[in-house]
Chain A
Amino acid sequence: MRWFLLCFLLLAAPAHAVQPDETLPDPKLEQRARDLSTGFRCLVCQNQSIDESDAPLAKDLRVLIREHLTRGASDAEIRDFVVARYGEFVLLKPRLTASTAVLWATPFLIILAGIIVILRRRKVSAVPAESALSAEEQKALRDISN
């Protein structure tokens, strides 16, 4: 295990950009660019983020994001800009709005509901309700014990 950890220590190199010529010199800014682009859906190959996609459109968008970043735009500003251009559809992480509230809340509501059901059933079943033996079972029991 220690050996594994040692490997990881050596691995703490900064990540690089998608194409060598797109990279920003400032590693911090570049990391922000990468983080932002993994959150945008590529409109050409729809199951990839623009960070992964080879499509020219994705590349344009990556370059554009980096331009905005070097001009000092904040992450939120860039996100707004891209959404204004391509719509909410590009966001891989849908924003919490009235129409996505159900989406975000359901999984956790299910857990909540489940816990309530479990607790309520517990109260009901707190009374030991093992049913008494039926006449038939009584007879079978007598037969066995005799």
Chain B
Amino acid sequence: MIAEIGHFALILALAVAAYQTLVPLMGAARGNRQMIASAVPATLIQLVLVYVAFAALTHAYLISDFSVQNVFENSHSAKPLLYKISGVWGNHEGSMLLWVFILASFGGAVAIFGENLPPTLRARVLAVQGSIGFAFLLFIVVASNPFARLNPVPIEGNGLNPVLQDPALAFHPPFLYAGYVGLSVAFSFAIAALIDGKVDAAWARWVRPWTLAAWMFLTIGISMGSWWAYYELGWGGWWFWDPVENASFMPWLVATALLHSAIVVEKRNALKVWTVLLSILAFSLSLLGTFLVRSGVLTSVHAFAVDPARGVFILAILCFFIGGALTLFAWRAPTLKAGGFFSPISREGGLVLNNLFLCAACASVLIGTLYPLALEIVTGEKISVGPPYFNLTFGPIMLPLLLLVPIGSQLSWKRADLFAALQRLWAAAALAIGLGVLVLIATERGPWLAPFGMALGAWLIFGSLADLANRIALFSAPLPTSLSRLAGLPRSSLGMTSAHAGLGLMIIGIIAITLWKVEHIVAMKPGERADIGHYTVQFVAETPLTGENYTGRAGQFRILRGDSEIATVVSEKREFKPMGTPTTEVGLYQTLAGDVYVVMGDRTADGARVVRLYFNPLVSLIWLGALIMFFGGALSLTDRRYRVGAPKRKLTPAGVPAE
């Protein structure tokens, strides 16, 4: 019964989404106030209906209602509660429902917090949101019904892919989707602005917090996925240039570009056409990502829904929205008035370069991901594009960008003095070069990238700190003055500083694990020891293992430094009910300096275990850096100028800063 309510709510939501698309658009065109005003209730009703559907499916999972085919196929009564919940979106139908759930949430948020928007603009934004919702709801209702029933009802379910039964992965899809789908708001604003024919500073200020929120979700979602891959897949890698990873990385790159270009629109009223285009592209890449992941068109570990008919449906949605948006753009963009002019050496100029490099980097990921597919279709040739390609294209494009980050944030608007900017950074440069030289001496004939990469990371970190120190006149003014200045700094500026410093930390982590990872693969019997880095690992014993829905073997390992024990870690080999699918749990001893990573492998002929030992130097900095970037975004989001639902303009005539 509850499943039917969910199904019915979905169909109603589809109808409401159609209303939400058409009526406000017509109202905005005719200047009919009632029709314009109906956008908000329509959005909220759609939201409630989609929530009902989502709750119904969650309920079916919680009570293990195997009469629902989706639950039968993806759940098991013995599964822990957390994975019963995450099972809702750990499959094709459920993940599409999560998609519209988040889309409706963002639409609802715009409806609720968008009171300060001009009513026509808000109506148009909500209408575009409604049209996206309509397309995906139609897809779910027609081709991907999560509420299909089974008769006769099976006794037990098939279970969720055990690799997916992991806390980080349980919440990876919601975050990632919140990022993907969050970009729909910027898209809707862009479409509304194109229809309106008006893009100004106010528009940019409205778009930015939504883009920032989506960017934060993407940042955290991608890094959760990478963290999961690191400790779950069991070979110590953290990024594989897998098509599905790429699918989430591309929107992130363009969203990052969009965040930066929207600043120029807001502050200087320039780059308007470009920013609108980026808003369209960012969400287009999200749609492309959804298509790539959901259609299974690319061979990938993530492609658990291989169904060409559905693929074609999503492809049609993709073509409609991307094609439609770009056509509208080509038609209407020339009517947008160009804004302020600037010299190439200026903050604007720096942000243009930022956009250029980010877009080129995104293009390298895009072409690397799609080229094999395109080539096979056109010529039948089968080639692979793997990590070496991305290291050789994406890498060199990012290097100059990263080098320019600290300089760009020192430049002033309109026309800047490059020399003065560099002068403010001399200490940061000296520290970074010093670190590079130290690494060079320490590693002697190591790869050239090591000293350079470390210096680059340090340059970003110290460059951000130097920027902060300059702003609060640290060392040049008395300390209390500096502190009061620090308290008075806009949060968005602190957010930028932290995000850039976080990026620097991440670079250091990436370079360190890429170049200095130590690996030792040995056959060990209980009691034996092996060295890894400056640690010694002793295989203590092996014991049988029984979990809620798996059995297996657990290997205890003692981690020693010299002769003193510092930790005990457990690496497990699990076999999951009901299929006996094997997974590996890594034994991980983490420090900031590096992780000792122990994986128990198969048994050898003479009764020993193959054990893979890794020392992954500084690897935690990758995720720590991502976390700081996320935190920087959050800080920026709380800046009063960008705060979602900022007070209505008419209520604060004098309180808003003039910039």
Contacts of B381 in A (CB 8 A): 88, 99
B301 x A11 contact (CB < 8 A): no
**In the complex, what's the smallest C-beta–C-beta distance from B369 to chain A, in angstroms?**
11
Which among A8, A10, A114, A130 is the interface contact of B359 at CB below 8 angstroms? A114
Smallest CB-CB separation from B615: which chain A residue? A11
Contacts of B520 in A (CB 8 A): 13, 15-16
B384 x A41 contact (CB < 8 A): yes
Contacts of B533 in A (CB 8 A): 7, 10-11, 13
Interface string of A9-25 (1 = CB under 8 A from B): 11111011111110000
Stretch at the interface among A64-72, A73-81, A100-108, A137-145: A100-108
Decide if the interface of chain B is mainly helix, strand, loop or mixed. Answer: mixed
**In the complex, what's the smallest C-beta–C-beta distance from B293 to chain A, in angstroms?**
14
B546 CB-CB contact with A under 8 Å: no
Contacts of B361 in A (CB 8 A): 107
Smallest CB-CB separation from B365: which chain A residue? A107
Which among B301, B383, B594 is the interface contact of A94 at CB below 8 angstroms? B383
B617 x A8 contact (CB < 8 A): yes
**In the complex, what's the smallest C-beta–C-beta distance from B461 to chain A, in angstroms?**
11
B382 x A88 contact (CB < 8 A): yes
Contacts of B521 in A (CB 8 A): 16-20
Number of interface residues of A (CB under 8 A): 54
B368 CB-CB contact with A under 8 Å: yes
Contacts of A103 in B (CB 8 A): 367-368, 371, 385, 389
Contacts of A85 in B (CB 8 A): none
B37 CB-CB contact with A under 8 Å: no
- A44–B439 Cα distance when bound, in Å, is 40
Q: Say yes or no: A47-B438 contact (C-beta < 8 A), given A8-B443, A39-B388, A92-B386.
A: no
Contacts of B340 in A (CB 8 A): 130
A115 x B397 contact (CB < 8 A): no
**In the complex, what's the smallest C-beta–C-beta distance from B581 to chain A, in angstroms?**
14
B389 x A115 contact (CB < 8 A): no
B300 CB-CB contact with A under 8 Å: yes
Contacts of A91 in B (CB 8 A): 383-384, 386
Which among B384, B442, B522, B523 is the interface contact of A8 at CB below 8 angstroms? B442
**In the complex, what's the smallest C-beta–C-beta distance from B277 to chain A, in angstroms?**
13
Query: Considering residues B359, B397, B521, B594, which has the most beta carbons from chain A within 10 angstroms of its beta carbon?
Result: B521
Smallest CB-CB separation from B386: which chain A residue? A92
A37 CB-CB contact with B under 8 Å: no
B617 x A110 contact (CB < 8 A): no
> From residue 604 to 622 of chain B, which have CB atoms closer than 8 A to chain A?
604, 610, 615, 617-618
Stretch at the interface among B60-68, B234-242, B494-502: B234-242
Query: Considering residues B301, B389, B392, B397, which has the most beta carbons from chain A within 10 angstroms of its beta carbon?
Result: B389
A94 x B397 contact (CB < 8 A): no
- A94–B385 Cα distance when bound, in Å, is 6
A11 x B617 contact (CB < 8 A): yes
- A99–B235 Cα distance when bound, in Å, is 33
B393 CB-CB contact with A under 8 Å: yes
**In the complex, what's the smallest C-beta–C-beta distance from B333 to chain A, in angstroms?**
15
Interface string of A27-67 (1 = CB under 8 A from B): 00000000000010100001111001000000000000000
B163 CB-CB contact with A under 8 Å: no
- For the A-B complex with A15-B518, A87-B382, A92-B387 known, give 16 more contacts whose Cβ atoms are closer than 8 Å: A7-B593, A7-B594, A9-B442, A13-B531, A16-B522, A21-B604, A47-B240, A47-B300, A47-B301, A48-B235, A52-B237, A99-B375, A99-B381, A100-B371, A102-B371, A114-B356
Name 13 interchain pairs, CB-CB below 8 A, sorted by A: A7-B534, A8-B617, A16-B519, A16-B520, A89-B382, A93-B386, A93-B388, A99-B375, A100-B383, A103-B389, A108-B393, A125-B338, A125-B341
